[in-house]
Every structure is written in C-alpha cells, then in structure tokens.
Structure 1
Amino acid sequence: MNPLWSYLLTAVGVTGLLLAGRMKRTGWLVGLGAQFLWAAYAAATQQYGFLISSFIYGYVYATNYLTWRRAHQRNETPA
C-alpha cells in the first residue's frame, strides 16, 4: 500500500476538523466524506477494524452536522 494514503487521510481529516472548529458547515461534510476514504483504505489493506471506526466516525460527523444545521437555521451556536 502506498504511504501516500496515510498523508491523504490525515490531511482530509485535519482539514475537516479545522473547518468545523471555525464553525463552517463544510467541516462536518469533509469529515463525513473522509470516512469513505477510510472505508476504502480498510478494504484495500484488509484491516477491517477501520470499517467499524469509519461507520462510528461517520455517524458522529453526520449527527454533528445535523446539530450544526439546526442551530444555524435558528441563528444559534451549538453548545
């Protein structure tokens, strides 16, 4: 497996967190999208434990995005 995967997964994940920390909607969506990359990585390397984590992280990113969206529609900042 090409080590470029490690750098790509790290870059995408950190970018999502930075954007989310700056209250940008795209941060949660980038993080959610990164989970598809993690799932591909898990399948390619046959490290299926990463599939479990990608589903869990995906759920957390989706839930946080929905919370952010609801608060943003009410012009509130989520706690």
Structure 2
Amino acid sequence: MAHQAWSWILAAVGITGLWLAGSGRRAGWAIGIASQALWLAYAVATSQWGFLASVAGYGAVHVRNWRRWRATEHAPPAP
C-alpha cells in the first residue's frame, strides 16, 4: 500500500510543477527540480535503480528549461 501512496504523491507533485511552469510561474521549475529528490528516494526505497537514470535526465531537462525560460524572461524587449 505504501507504494501506491508514493505513486500518487509523485504524480501530484510532478503535475503541479509542470502546470505552474507552463503558466510561467517560477515555482513550477523549483518544484520540478526538487521533485527529483522524491524520485531518488523512491528509487532507493523500492530498489528500482532504473529510476536513477530518470532522476538525472529529468533533473537536467528541468534545469535546462528553467535556464532558457529565465533568459527569455529577463531578455530586453525587441525593438
């Protein structure tokens, strides 16, 4: 039953982060990046080591996209 709770928590956190990021909210990126710690804990707790690759991959993509979003947010307006 504990595995079921993990699934729902991870889904809720991930969807919340994506929703907020897609709405242009900085908190979305922070949640997406921080959620990788939850995935890391899940991978270790359940001995599902393949999730470690997704933690690295999703974490890198979240950071990349946040940096790109931040660069466009702070870019000077076009003439």
TM-score normalised by length of structure 2: 0.89
Unaligned runs of 5+ in 2: none
CA distance in 2 between partners of 1:33 and 1:65 (Å): 13
Determine which structure has more spread, i.e. the larger CA radius of gyration.
Answer: 2
- Give identity over the alignment, percent: 47
CA distance in 2, matches of 1:53, 1:34: 12
**Quick one: higher RCO (CA 8 Å, sep 6+), 1 or 2?**
1
**Structure 1: which 5+ residue stretches go unaligned?**
none
User: What amino acid sits opposite 2:45 in the alignment?
Assistant: A
Q: What is residue 41 of structure 2 aligned with on the other side?
A: 40
Deviation of the 1:75 alpha carbon: 5.4
In structure 2, distance between residues paired with 1:52 and 1:9: 16
- 1:16 to 2:45 alignment: no
Asked whether 1:70 is paired with 2:71, we answer yes
CA distance in 2 between counterparts of 1:39 and 1:56 reads 12
Give the count of matched residue pairs: 76
Relative to 1, partners in 2 of residues 1:13 and 1:46: Cα closer, same or farther, differing over 3 Å? Answer: same
The 2-side partners of 1:42 and 1:75 are apart by 42
Q: Which runs of 4+ in 1 moved over 2 A?
A: none
RMSD: 1.3
Q: 1:23 aligns to what SS in structure 2?
A: coil
